Structure 1
């Protein structure tokens, strides 16, 4: 039977597909770590109190990248080259979402509007990350190799999402509500398109590695397109709502180390 759990299990059981899966994940997390580190360094004076939280966010992302690389090493595998069509972070940038790497590479302080853009972009992408990790946690929390990693990363992603809600609500209370909602909507609609394209690309690469039949590949592609159709119609709304999180000041302390992985 074709199910999300069986699909993930098949990918995890094969060395080459597992290698690609972890490499894509590690690359994305490492890029996120760099971005947050640069944003923390360039925060405007009016928002300097945010810098430690942004730094914590980046440290978590770096840690996740190390965890995925450590999982590869544990199986005696080396990182694979990440295909360009699976690079979620860079594809979002090409769609004008978030702060461009070229902007972050300059030694020019960000503006308050830049910080709002960063938080709105993170609110959307952390929603996706939180949902994906909860799915993996549901199926693999007790897995002997993946269990601890999945639970740790899932908890971190939930913290990141809570932090985005809290900070965006603070900016909304300061009079930026309309700007926040406009940027959130733009980010969400772009993200669901990029997520569809990346999902199709990942499944194409996995299918070739695992020798999937054309029929199976077609079923998976149809499922991805169905998810996109739902998200384009109504599902995007979950990515733009803001509510006080249950986890308050979720990034108020230092990053939790992961010595068992890295």
Structure 2
């Protein structure tokens, strides 16, 4: 029976597919760490209280990158180059989602509008990350190889999502509600297309590594297209709603370390 658990178990059990999976994940997390670090350095003076939370977000992403690299190291594996068609973060930027890297490389203060754009982008992408890690936690929390890492990263992603909700609501109450809803909608509709394309590319690479028959590859591709159809018809709306999270100030403290994976 083809299921999310059996599919990932197959990827996990093969060194080459596991190496590709971890390399893609580590690259994306490290890129997110750099982006958040630069944003924390460039927040406008009026939002200086937000800087430590953005920095904490970046530190968490850097930590996740180290964890995925450490998971490879535990199995004696080296990272591989990430195929560009599987680079979720890069493709989002190419679609105009979030703050451009060229802007972040300049030593110019961001505007409040830039911060709102960053938070709206993060609210959408952290929704995806939280859901993906929740799925892995459901099936692999008890796995001796990756269980601890999955639980740690999943908890962080939930915190990131809560932080985005709380900060966006703060900006909405300050009069930015219309901009926030517009940016969230644009970002969500772009993200679901990028996620579809990246998912198809990743499954294509995994299929070649694992020798999947054409029928299995076609079934998985059909499933990815079906998810996109659902999201395009209305599933994207879950990515744009804003509710005050139960856990307030989720990024207000120091980040948990990853020394056990170093």
TM-score computed with the length of structure 1 as normaliser: 1.00
1:238 is displaced (CA, Å) by 0.2
Aligned partner of 2:39 in structure 1 is: 39
Counterpart-to-counterpart distance in 2, 1:52 and 1:254: 9
1:143 is displaced (CA, Å) by 0.3
Aligned partner of 1:48 in structure 2 is: 48
Counterpart-to-counterpart distance in 1, 2:260 and 2:96: 37
Aligned partner of 1:257 in structure 2 is: 257
Determine whether 1:14 maps to 2:37. Answer: no
Aligned partner of 1:83 in structure 2 is: 83
Aligned partner of 1:211 in structure 2 is: 211
Aligned partner of 2:192 in structure 1 is: 192
Runs of 4+ residues over 3 Å off in structure 1: none
Task: Note the 1:12-161 alignment, pairs <5 A.
Answer: 12-161=12-161
Cα displacement string for residues 212-238 of structure 1 (whole angstroms, at most 9, x for unaligned residues): 011100000000000000000010000
Counterpart-to-counterpart distance in 1, 2:192 and 2:256: 30
1:182 is displaced (CA, Å) by 0.1
1:124 is displaced (CA, Å) by 0.1
How many aligned positions are there?
262
Cα displacement string for residues 185-214 of structure 1 (whole angstroms, at most 9, x for unaligned residues): 000000000000000000000000000011
1:259 is displaced (CA, Å) by 1.3
Task: Note the 1:230-249 alignment, pairs <5 A.
Answer: 230-249=230-249
1:93 is displaced (CA, Å) by 0.5
1:65 is displaced (CA, Å) by 0.1
Cα displacement string for residues 25-65 of structure 1 (whole angstroms, at most 9, x for unaligned residues): 00000000000000000000010000000000000000000
> Secondary structure at 1:150's aligned position in 2?
helix
Counterpart-to-counterpart distance in 2, 1:4 and 1:165: 28
1:163 is displaced (CA, Å) by 0.1
Determine whether 1:166 maps to 2:166. Answer: yes
1:128 is displaced (CA, Å) by 0.1
CA RMSD of aligned residues (A): 0.4
Counterpart-to-counterpart distance in 2, 1:234 and 1:247: 27
Counterpart-to-counterpart distance in 2, 1:29 and 1:258: 14
Counterpart-to-counterpart distance in 2, 1:245 and 1:95: 29
1:120 is displaced (CA, Å) by 0.1
1:133 is displaced (CA, Å) by 0.1
Counterpart-to-counterpart distance in 2, 1:234 and 1:152: 31
Determine whether 1:229 maps to 2:229. Answer: yes
Cα displacement string for residues 87-112 of structure 1 (whole angstroms, at most 9, x for unaligned residues): 00010001000001111000011000
TM-score computed with the length of structure 2 as normaliser: 1.00
1:258 is displaced (CA, Å) by 1.5
Counterpart-to-counterpart distance in 2, 1:100 and 1:87: 15
Unaligned runs of 5+ in 1: none
Counterpart-to-counterpart distance in 2, 1:96 and 1:61: 21
Counterpart-to-counterpart distance in 1, 2:235 and 2:256: 32
